[in-house]
Structure 1
Amino acid sequence: MTEHVYVVGHRNPDTDSICAAISFARLKQRMGQENVVACRAGKVNRETEYVLNAFNVPAPEYLADVNLRVKDLLNGPIPTVDPKTPLQEAWQIMKKNSQKTLPIVDRNRRMLGMISVGDLSGSYIENMGDLDFGSLHISAQNVVKTLKGEILVGSEDQELQGCVYVGAMHHKTFETFIQPGNVVLVGDRVTAQESALRIGVSALILTGGAKLCEESEKLAREKGAIVISVPTDTFTAARLLPMSAPVQSIMKTEGVVTFQEDDLISEVRQKMLETRYRNYPVLDEQERVVGLISRYHLLKLNRKKLILVDHNEWGQAVKGAEQAQVLEVVDHHRVGGIQTTDPISFRNVPVGSTCTIVAKCYQEQGIEPEKGIAGIMLAAILSDTVIFKSPTCTEADKEIVAYLEKIVGIDAKEFGIQMFKSSSNLAERKVEELIEEDLKEFAVSDFKVGIGQVSVMGLDGIDALREELNKKLEATRGDKGLHYLLLMITDLLEENTDLWIAGDKPEEIAKAFNLPLVENRVFLPGVLSRKKQVVPPLTKYFLG
C-alpha cells in the first residue's frame, strides 16, 4: 500500500495556504512523486472558493488531523469465519494466514466472538478423552467437511448426538458398550454396522470408504440414523472427529477487548499494556470486523508524512502534526517553534506569498505549471500582497505574477479587484466566518494571541455588526484559551485597518501601536499586513 505524503497549509486557511498546497503537491507529482497529496486543515473561505472556481481547480481534501489511529496500522481485510465453521477448517485458515487468533462473525461481519490457537488445542485435548456430541451441536455437514466424506443416509443439517465409540471389537462385545443415541465409528464389517443400527445409534460413521448394504441402509432409514462414509482409516477419523465441532462451541464471547478503527494509537497502547492479549479485533462504526492489531503493529509504527506550506508553527499546523514526520517546509513567515527529529528541507523566503516561492520552484525544475495551477498561484500572490499594496510585497512577487500572467492570459490587477470584491460585503457575512476564516495563533512573550484578518473593499456595514462581533470575539477567545483575540478588518480601498480587540486589557494592545483605544478598537492607518505591521509591534511591546 502506497504511503501518502500530505501537503497542507495552516488551520483556518487563506487563499495562499490552499493554493500553495495544491500547487506544490502538483509540482511533486509532475516530478514523479505520485504519492504526494494536497490537503487543507480547515474550511475554504469565500475568496478562495472564488479563485478555485475561476480556474476550475477542485478544493483539496479536508485533513482533520494526522494523529495516528488504529486504521492506519491495518493491512487490509482479514479472514473471519461464521459460528458453524468446523474447528478443522478454522485451524487451516489460521495456519494459511499465519494468524494466531480468528474472529467469529455473523453474516454481516459483525463481531460475535474470538478463538485462538490455544483454544483449539485445549478443546482438542479435552475432547480426546471422552467425546460427547450432546452439547457441541456438530452437524453432519461439518463431519463431511472435516473428514472429507459423504452422507449416505440423512441430511446435512442434522446434528450428531451422544458419546462417540469405535467399533473395533467383536460385535457381541461391542453391543455391551454402546447405547441408543451414541455415535459409532466402524469399518466395513457388516455385522458390526447392523448391530449398531439395531441398538439405535444416532449416527454411524463408516471408515475406509465403506458403504452400507441394501438391508443395512433400509435399517438406518427406519431407525432415523445418520450414516456418513469417510475415506480415512478409523484411527485418523477418530482423531479428526473432534475437529468437526463448530467454532461457536469454544469461542470466547466475554472479556474480548476490541478497538474501533478511529481510536487513537496513544489510547490503544495503554489498553494493550493493561490487558496483554495476543491480538485485538478492530471494528468499524457498524461493529463489523475490519482487521486485527497486536503489539507488533506498535513496534513498526510509521508516522504520517507531511509537507507544511505557508506556516511553520505547531500552533497553526493541522492537529497532531507534532506526532507526524515533517519532510519539508515552504513558507514566508517568521520561523516559529517547530522542531524535528531529522534534518528536513526548510525553504523560508521573505516574500509576500508562499505561492511566489512555489512558482519559483517550478521555474527551478524547468516545469511550466498548467494554466489552472498558474492561475491559483497568481491569485494567491495578489491576495497575500493585497494587489502589491502590502509592505510585504517584493519585486520577486511582482516578477512571478508577470510570469504567471502570461501563462494564464488575464489582467492580474483586474482579476485581483474582482477577487476581493467577491468576499468584501460584510452585510452578507456571518461573524463567526469573519473571525475564523483567516485566524492564526501566535506565541508573543508569555501570551497566546490570535489574530484574524478580513480584507474588504470599504467598511460599509461594519457598524451593524458591532455588538454581535464584540460578543463573538470574546466568546471565541475564551473557547480557544487565548489571552487576546484580534480581528483586522482591512479596507483595501483606503489602505487602513480597523483592529478589533477581545481581552482583559485591550488598552495594552493599543499601547503597542501608540494609538488610542475607542470601544475596544484601534484604527491603524496605512496598515495592511498582519505579518509585517501587526505582529512585530506586538512582539516588541510585550517582550519589553
Structure 2
Amino acid sequence: MNLSNAIDERDFWEVESTYVIGHQRPDTDAVAAALGYAWYLTATGAENTTAARAGQLAAQTSFALARFGCPPPILLNGVAPLFAHIAEPQKALTADAPLSEAMAQLAQGRRVVPILDDDQKPLGVVTAIALARAYSALIHHPERAKEIEAQSCREVLEDSPHFRAKERISDNRAALLRGASDDFLVTDDAGHYLGVANRSQVVAPPRARLILVDHNELGQAITGANEAEIISVLDHHRLGNAPTSNPIPFVVEPVGSTCTLIAERCRSAQLNPPASIAGVLLSGILSDTLVFRSPTTTPRDREIAQWLAGLANVNTEDYGNELLRVTPGLMARTIEDIVDSDRKSYEMAGHKVSIGQVEITNLQELPQRRDDLLSGLEERRQREGLALIGLMVTDVVTGTSHLLGSGEPPLLRALPFHRLSEGEWGLDSIVSRKKQLIPALSDAVESAF
C-alpha cells in the first residue's frame, strides 16, 4: 500500500512540496494570497510550490473562487511530521518462512525483517542478533546448518514497537528514545503493516516547508507549524513571528491586504496573472479593505486593485459590493461558524487573547443571537484558557461594529469602549480588527494587569 494512501490526504503533506499557506480559519485574503503567491512563485521558476489552506472555506471565499473559476487550495489539517513520512516500505515475511529468507534480506543490509500474520499485521521482527543466536549452534555442530536454515522465522521472533502512520512523531519521540528498540514498524489504522522506520529518523524527521502568507504568528498558523521549516513570510499584520533556525525573507508591509503585495510583485515582474488568479487576488483586497472603506486601505491597495480588475474584466465597486453581500446573516449561521470562522489568537503582555470578526449587512440581527454568542465565547474562553475572547460584529453597509466579549473582570473593566450591556460594547466606526481594535485591546491588557 502507498503510505500516503494509508491516511487521510488532509493529514499528509508531501516532503517534496513547498506549501504557500494562510492562517487558520482562513478568510478570503488568506486563501487568495496562497493561490496568488503560489502562482507567482511558480511563474518565476519555483518548483513544487503548492497553495494550501488551514481550514474550511468561508461563504464569501467560496463565492469568489466560483465567480472566477479558480479551484481552492488543498486543505491540510496539520504539518507535523508523521510516522508515514519516515516509514520505508520493506518486504515482509510470514512467521512460517524459513530463516534462510530472513538471512538473505539481512545480508542485503536490512536492519530488521518484519514478520506478519495471515492478515498482514505485525507479529514482530527478525534481527541479525536473533539469527546469530540461532546459528551459534554451528560452532559445535556444523552439520546442522541445513536444519537451522529450515527453521521458521517464528522460532527467533522478537517484539518490535509499532505505530500508526498518521500518528505524530513528536507525540511519541520521548518514549521511543527511552526504549531499547532501534527499529519499529508502521501500520495503518487497521493495524496492517506499511513499512519500517528507525531511531535516527525519529530524531531528525523530514519537515514540511512553509511559506506563510497573511500571518506571521505561530498562534495563528496551521497545526504543527512549530515543527515545520518556515522559509519565508509575506504579511500585512503586526509582528509576532516565531524564531527560525536560519535567516529567511520576511516581508511585512502596512497595506490593506496581503494580496496587494502579491499583485505588486506580479506587475513588477511584468507578469499578468490569468483572469482567475487576478479575480481572486482582487477579491482578497476588496474583502480585507471592505471595498476601500476600512482605515487600513492605502493608495497602493486602490491602485493595484484597478490593475487586477482590468485583468479580471470586472468593475471594482460593483463586484466589491456584490462580494460583501454574499456573507450570510447571523440567523442563517451556527454559533460555531460565527464565532470561529475568522478567529485569531494573540499574545498580549503574556496573556492569551482570541478575537473573531464576522461581517454582516444588518446589525439588527445581533440581539436575537447575542446570548447564544456570549455563551459560545465563554465556553471557548474556559476551554482554551484565555484572558479575553471577543467577537467583532461589523456592519459593512453602515461601517459600524459591536464587540461581544468574555474575559477576566479587570480586563473587561479596562476596555476603552462604550458598554451597551453585559458582555457587549459599541465600537462606533471601528471596522478594522488589525488596525483599530487589536491596538486598543493590547493597551487595555497592558493597563489591566
Q: Same fold (TM over 0.5)?
A: yes
Cα distance in structure 1, aligned partners of 2:446 and 2:218:
21
Using a 3 Å threshold, how does the CA distance of structure 1 residues 510 and 489 change in structure 2: closer, same or farther? farther
Give runs of aligned pairs for residues 64-463 of structure 1, distance below 5 A.
Answer: 64-75=77-88, 77-96=89-108, 98-126=109-137, 239-252=145-158, 255-463=159-367
8 Å CA contact 1:21–1:39 kept in 2: the answer is yes
Deviations 1:133-182 (A, max 9, x none): xxxxxxxxxxxxxxxxxxxxxxxxxxxxxxxxxxxxxxxxxxxxxxxxxx
Using a 3 Å threshold, how does the CA distance of structure 1 residues 289 and 514 change in structure 2: closer, same or farther? closer
Deviations 1:225-259 (A, max 9, x none): xxxxxxxxxx7xx633421222223223xx43222
Q: Which residue of 2 aligns with 1:59?
A: 72
Q: Which residue of 2 aligns with 1:530?
A: 433
8 Å CA contact 1:509–1:538 kept in 2: the answer is no
- Bigger drift between 266-275 and 406-415 goes to 266-275
Using a 3 Å threshold, how does the CA distance of structure 1 residues 301 and 511 change in structure 2: closer, same or farther? closer
Q: Cα offset for 1:32?
A: 2.9
Q: Which residue of 2 aligns with 1:229?
A: none
Cα distance in structure 1, aligned partners of 2:182 and 2:197:
9
Q: Structure 2: which amino acid aligns with 1:3?
A: E
Cα distance in structure 1, aligned partners of 2:372 and 2:314:
40
Secondary structure, counterpart of 2:79 in structure 1: coil
Cα distance in structure 2, aligned partners of 1:62 and 1:274:
35
- Bigger drift between 339-348 and 287-296 goes to 287-296
Secondary structure, counterpart of 1:51 in structure 2: helix
Cα distance in structure 2, aligned partners of 1:300 and 1:426:
47
Q: Structure 1: which amino acid aligns with 2:311?
A: I
Cα distance in structure 1, aligned partners of 2:424 and 2:42:
46
Cα distance in structure 2, aligned partners of 1:434 and 1:299:
41
Q: Cα offset for 1:351?
A: 0.2
Q: Aligned match of 2:24 in 11, 19, 24?
A: 11
Q: Cα offset for 1:277?
A: 1.9
Q: Cα offset for 1:89?
A: 2.0
Q: Which residue of 1 aligns with 2:10?
A: none
Q: Cα offset for 1:285?
A: 0.9
Q: Structure 1: which amino acid aligns with 2:79?
A: V
Cα distance in structure 2, aligned partners of 1:287 and 1:514:
57
Secondary structure, counterpart of 2:393 in structure 1: strand
- Bigger drift between 480-489 and 257-266 goes to 257-266
Q: Structure 2: which amino acid aligns with 1:324?
A: A
8 Å CA contact 1:66–1:304 kept in 2: the answer is yes
8 Å CA contact 2:186–2:197 kept in 1: the answer is yes
Using a 3 Å threshold, how does the CA distance of structure 1 residues 7 and 339 change in structure 2: closer, same or farther? same
8 Å CA contact 1:74–1:293 kept in 2: the answer is yes
Cα distance in structure 2, aligned partners of 1:447 and 1:300:
33
Q: Cα offset for 1:60?
A: 1.9
- Bigger drift between 475-484 and 56-65 goes to 56-65
Secondary structure, counterpart of 1:276 in structure 2: coil
Q: Cα offset for 1:304?
A: 1.9
- Bigger drift between 15-24 and 384-393 goes to 15-24
8 Å CA contact 2:100–2:150 kept in 1: the answer is yes
8 Å CA contact 2:15–2:208 kept in 1: the answer is no
- Bigger drift between 87-96 and 43-52 goes to 87-96
Secondary structure, counterpart of 1:34 in structure 2: coil
Deviations 1:376-431 (A, max 9, x none): 11001000000000000011001111011011101122222222222142211111
Q: Cα offset for 1:490?
A: 0.5
Q: Cα offset for 1:74?
A: 2.6
Identity %: 31
- Bigger drift between 481-490 and 532-541 goes to 532-541
Secondary structure, counterpart of 1:9 in structure 2: strand
Q: Which residue of 2 aligns with 1:153?
A: none
8 Å CA contact 1:258–1:283 kept in 2: the answer is yes
Using a 3 Å threshold, how does the CA distance of structure 1 residues 465 and 295 change in structure 2: closer, same or farther? same
8 Å CA contact 1:16–1:380 kept in 2: the answer is yes
Deviations 1:340-363 (A, max 9, x none): 121000111100001111111222
Q: What is the TM-score when the length of structure 2 is the normalising length?
A: 0.91
Q: Structure 2: which amino acid aligns with 1:320?
A: G
Secondary structure, counterpart of 1:475 in structure 2: helix
Q: Cα offset for 1:531?
A: 0.9
Gaps of 5+ in 2: 1-13
Q: Structure 1: which amino acid aligns with 2:359?
A: S
8 Å CA contact 1:2–1:35 kept in 2: the answer is no
8 Å CA contact 1:510–1:517 kept in 2: the answer is no
8 Å CA contact 1:426–1:460 kept in 2: the answer is no
Cα distance in structure 1, aligned partners of 2:346 and 2:118:
53
8 Å CA contact 1:450–1:485 kept in 2: the answer is yes
Cα distance in structure 2, aligned partners of 1:32 and 1:524:
46
Cα distance in structure 2, aligned partners of 1:53 and 1:100:
52
Q: What is the TM-score when the length of structure 1 is the normalising length?
A: 0.76
Cα distance in structure 1, aligned partners of 2:371 and 2:281:
37
- Bigger drift between 418-427 and 404-413 goes to 418-427
Q: Aligned match of 1:48 in 61, 72, 75?
A: 61
Using a 3 Å threshold, how does the CA distance of structure 1 residues 474 and 2 change in structure 2: closer, same or farther? closer
8 Å CA contact 2:232–2:250 kept in 1: the answer is yes
Cα distance in structure 1, aligned partners of 2:183 and 2:408:
53
RMSD of Structure 2 on Structure 1 (CA): 2.1
Q: Aligned match of 1:35 in 24, 36, 48?
A: 48
